[in-house]
Amino acid sequence: MNTELLREFKEDKKGILDVRVKTKNNEHIDAEIMDQMTREKTAREQGFEQGTNQKAIEIAKNLLGLIDDETIALKTGLPLETVKNLRN
């Protein structure tokens, strides 16, 4: 497809860039854009989850000499088995 592309940029309230690509026929190609936005959102969520888990592990390590494994698991949200493995 040999078309001239125009891009409209609109930033919404959350700071997400909305990009719409138009062909000569003024058809919007939203499916690809939505797919890309979904991939980016998923990547952000996974990154946040990994960071949160890493922080919980860091906190748990700091508590190992102070309180029991069950309390650490309860307060950090980590599985008890993960806390026990941190002792090894």
pLDDT tens digit at each of 88 positions of the chain? 444 544 554 545 455 555 555 555 555 666 677 778 888 888 888 988 888 899 999 999 999 999 999 999 999 999 999 999 998 8
The whole-number pLDDT of residue 33 equals 74
Q: How many CB atoms lie within 10 A of CB 86?
A: 15
Q: Token pair of 88, please?
A: 């090894």
Q: How many CB atoms lie within 10 A of CB 83?
A: 23
Residue 33: C-alpha distances to residues 18, 37, 49 (Å): 8, 6, 24
- Sequence ranges of the domains in the chain: 6-86
pTM of the model: 0.55
Amino acid present at 12: D
